[in-house]
Amino acid sequence: MAAKTKTKSTDVHVLTFINDFAATEEQKEDSIVLIRLMKEVSGFEPRMWGPSIVGFGNYHYKYASGHEGDAPLLGFSPRKAAISLYVFTGLEEHKHLLDNLGKFKMGKACIYVKKLSDINIDELKRLMETSVRFLKEKYPS
C-alpha cells in the first residue's frame, strides 16, 4: 500500500492561521515578513498546506520508488520552539548557501530559526531563489 501525502493545500486563511498559531508577537511579525519575502521570491500568493505550513507555489514530484505528490516551492511554519523554513534543497552543491545565513539549526527537510533577526535576510533570499529555480527545473509543470 502506497503512503498517502498528508500535506496538501487547503483553503484555511493564512493570516487567521498566523494569528491563532504563532506563539509570540515576534513570531507573528516574523511570519508577516516571511510572507512578504516568499511571495516576492516565488511570485505566488501564500496558501496553507496541511494544518500548519504556509506555502508558496507548488510542484509535483515523483520518486523512483513510485511515491508522488505535491509540495510548495517555499514554505514556513511558526512552531512553538522555532520557525521551520522549507527553503533548502538539501543538495551538497547548495550547502555553501548556508555559510553566511546566520544562527540556525538543520533538520532533515528544513531549517529552524528562533527569530528572523538571527539570520541574514539577503542570504535567506538567495537561498530561496536557488531553491525555487532548482525545483522549477527539476519538476517542470
Note whether residue 3 is domain-resident. Answer: no
What is the identity of the amino acid at 7?
T
Q: Assign residue 54 the CATH number of its domain.
A: 3.90.1150
- Provide the mean pLDDT of the chain: 92
Domain that holds residue 86: 14-138
Tens digit of pLDDT for each residue in 54-112? 999 999 988 888 888 999 999 999 999 999 999 999 899 999 999 999 999 998 879 99
On whether the pTM is more than 0.85, the answer is yes
Tens digit of pLDDT for each residue in 17-70? 999 999 899 999 999 999 999 999 999 999 999 999 999 999 998 888 888 899
Q: How many domains, the chain?
A: 1
Note whether residue 2 is domain-resident. Answer: no
